[in-house]
Amino acid sequence: MTGNADEPFITAVKPLVDAMGGEMLPPDEAGADDVVLAWEGVDVVAVRLPQLADSLDHILAAMERKRGKPLADLDRKAKQEVVRILEARGAFSVRHGVETVAGALGVSRFTVYNYLNREKES
């Protein structure tokens, strides 16, 4: 994708791009909605950001990997923590966000709303 001089920059931004569920590509392949990153005045890499719904799926998968098991296998307190983290990250502003999260947690939409309301009351 780039020369050796750019490798430290790409290595540095790759974890962030991966965490967002983005894709790195050569700057000359960037589309209108991609973000081109420059290093020392030279375009080095373009980042294609995911659609919001894809991003939520990516976040849920990352949370499962971090915990080492499916989110549905977590206890109630851990599921409440997941909902709290997802709310802080804007997961419930995505269309069908509550349904997607409920499915991943193995609970009903009603339960997710209860977890959200519990947070607001405390």
Residue 24 has pLDDT above 50, yes or no: yes
Cα dihedral: 113, 119, 121, 122 (round 10):
160
Give residue-wise pLDDT tens across range 4-21. Answer: 557 889 999 999 888 777
Asked if residues 106 and 60 have their Cβ atoms less than 8 Å apart, the reply is no
pLDDT of residue 2: 44
Q: Answer yes or no: pTM beyond 0.85.
A: no
Give residue-wise pLDDT tens across range 86-120. Answer: 999 888 888 889 999 999 999 999 999 999 988 66
DSSP strand pairing (42-48 vs 35-39): antiparallel
